[in-house]
Amino acid sequence: MDQFIGLDVSLKETSISVRQNGKRSWRGKCPSDPKLLAEVICKRAPNAKKIVFETGPLSVWFYHALTGEGLPAICIDARHAKAALDMAPNKTDANDADGLAQLAEVGFYREVRVKQYDSMLTRTLVAARSQLIKIVTELSNQIRGLMKTFGLVVPKGAGRVFEANVRNLIVDNKGLERIILPLLETWRTVRDRAAELDRQLVAAARESAPCQLLVSIPGVGSVVAASFASAIEAPENFRTSRSVGAWLGLTTRRYQSGEVDFDGHISRRGDNHLRGLLYQAAVVILTRTLADSTLRTWGLKLRKKVGFKRAAVAVARKLAVIMHTMLKTGEPFDRSAGATA
């Protein structure tokens, strides 16, 4: 008989529920280690047909480890699972595992595509670089704010110019120098580490054919190209290029009930970081790119009608569609092509 398993994964322990013939046959807990889980599953459910767990911080590790053990692991959308799990009168890990096992048995779930380790390494590199850049910005703003208290206004400038300006202003103030210099040294160290990750990202983008194809778009750099390529992985994962915009949360919400029917703001679902990068690329296309293209012309016309922010969102959505089409066809960006998406 087929057996269906639900896993409620947490950092330390994982609740397990096994169902067979419409009834729960076993329930227990196990340390959150895929190898130990595989042993328990093979012992308690040797005829496992589906092993369902929700998306989460450990889902990539669990999926690849369990599938590597030859088990039918399935990662499902946590938002869809929540609607079904909330029907339980009591919210417990054991009840959540029971609910996931029931979803596996009836097939009422949406499976999520789990990324490969190579793609996750690229995404981790981009995320680490972004975090270090954020820390550098916060430290520089903190230094500027502390020095303003003593009437020392740091002139505009970044990098070595910023460091030189700070040192020149505090050279005659020994008390403030003892406070600011440790911050400045930390700022310089973190900035150097961010530059190292940036060089790694650029080198990886140069060796990647999809990234080299995407950077042919004016306004799209190595960071956006690498992030998009690692998120999409294979163009075949999407039936149409238009669906990429909705997948990234760049399409408007719609509410319809009786005579009420209107479109709202964008859904903002999916990858927040990639959506932000595409928006930044759209802003660059509209404001800083000198190379003319049909996409930029269309965006500038739309800017006059609906405003800059809405036009940038629209350009970001079309940019996502164009980038997916380029990955699917293998053709570089055509500046004269119509911006239809």
Helix (H, G, I), strand (E, B) or coil at 341: coil
- pLDDT at position 241 is 92
**Do 159 and 94 belong together in one domain?**
no
How does DSSP assign 39-69, residue by residue? HHHHHH-TTEEEEEEE-STTHHHHHHHHHHT
Extended beta strands in the chain, E state: 3-9, 13-20, 23-31, 48-54, 73-76, 252-257, 260-266
256-271 per-position pLDDT tens digit: 888 777 777 888 888 8
Return the minimum-mean-pLDDT range out of 78-87, 119-128, 194-203, 231-240.
78-87
- pLDDT at position 338 is 53
Q: CB burial class (10 A; 0-12, 13-18, 19+) of residue 162?
A: buried
How does DSSP assign 211-265, residue by residue? HHHHTTSTT--HHHHHHHHHHH-SGGGSSSTHHHHHHTT-SEEEEEETTEEEEEE
**Do 200 and 218 belong together in one domain?**
no
183-194 per-position pLDDT tens digit: 999 999 999 999
- 339 inside domain: no
Which percentage of the chain shows pLDDT scores above 70?
99
- 338 inside domain: no
Q: Which of 207, 228, 247 is the last residue of a domain?
A: 207
Contact in structure between 55 and 31 (CB atoms under 8 Å): no
| 303 half-sphere exposure, CB direction, 13 A CA radius | 16
Q: Which domain holds residue 198?
A: 117-207
Residue 307 has pLDDT above 90, yes or no: yes
- pLDDT at position 44 is 94
**Do 58 and 72 belong together in one domain?**
yes
**Do 79 and 177 belong together in one domain?**
no
Which percentage of the chain shows pLDDT scores above 90?
79
203-247 per-position pLDDT tens digit: 999 999 999 999 999 999 999 999 999 999 999 999 899 999 999
**Do 46 and 66 belong together in one domain?**
yes
**Do 239 and 136 belong together in one domain?**
no
133 pLDDT band, cuts 50/70/90, is very high
Could you give the number of structural domains in the chain? 3
- pLDDT at position 147 is 94
**Do 95 and 173 belong together in one domain?**
no
Tell me what percent of the chain is helix, strand and coil, each rounded to the nearest 5. Answer: 60, 15, 30
Mean pLDDT of the chain: 92
172 pLDDT band, cuts 50/70/90, is confident
**Do 325 and 254 belong together in one domain?**
yes
Q: Which of 106, 126, 159 is the last residue of a domain?
A: 106
**Do 159 and 267 belong together in one domain?**
no
Q: Which of 174, 207, 240 is the last residue of a domain?
A: 207
- pLDDT at position 340 is 47
CATH number of the domain within which 32 lies: 3.30.420.40
Helix (H, G, I), strand (E, B) or coil at 308: helix
- 335 inside domain: no
- 274 inside domain: yes
